A = this chain, B = another copy of it.
Amino acid sequence: MATPDTRTQLLDAAERLFAERGFSGTSVRAITDLAGANLAAVGYHFGSKAELLTAVVRRVIEPITTEQLAGLDRLLARSPEPPVADLVEAFAGPLFDAMRTGDEGGARTSRLIVRIFGDPSEEMRSWTGSAENTLRDRYVAAFTRARPDLTQDELWFRIRGILAVAAVDRVDRHNQTPAPTDAPEPARRWAITFLAAAMSAPPSEPRAN
Question: A3 to chain B: which residues have CB within 8 Å?
Answer: none
Which of the segments A53-61, A69-77, A153-161 contacts the partner chain? A153-161
Question: A192 to chain B: which residues have CB within 8 Å?
Answer: 204
In the complex, the answer to whether A204 meets B177 with C-beta atoms within 8 Å is: no
In the complex, the answer to whether B23 meets A118 with C-beta atoms within 8 Å is: no
In the complex, the answer to whether A195 meets B193 with C-beta atoms within 8 Å is: no
Q: Which residues in chain A, 159-196, are within 8 Å of chain B measured between CB atoms?
A: 160-161, 163-165, 167-169, 171-172, 174, 176-177, 186-187, 189-196
Q: Which residues in chain A, 107-143, are within 8 Å of chain B measured between CB atoms?
A: 111, 114-115, 117-121, 125
Question: A209 to chain B: which residues have CB within 8 Å?
Answer: none
In the complex, the answer to whether B187 meets A157 with C-beta atoms within 8 Å is: yes
In the complex, the answer to whether A177 meets B194 with C-beta atoms within 8 Å is: no
Question: Is there a chain B Cβ closer than 8 Å to A63's Cβ?
Answer: no
Listed in ascending order, the chain A residues whose CB lies under 8 Å from chain B are: 20-25, 111, 114-115, 117-121, 125, 153-154, 156-158, 160-161, 163-165, 167-169, 171-172, 174, 176-177, 186-187, 189-198, 200-205
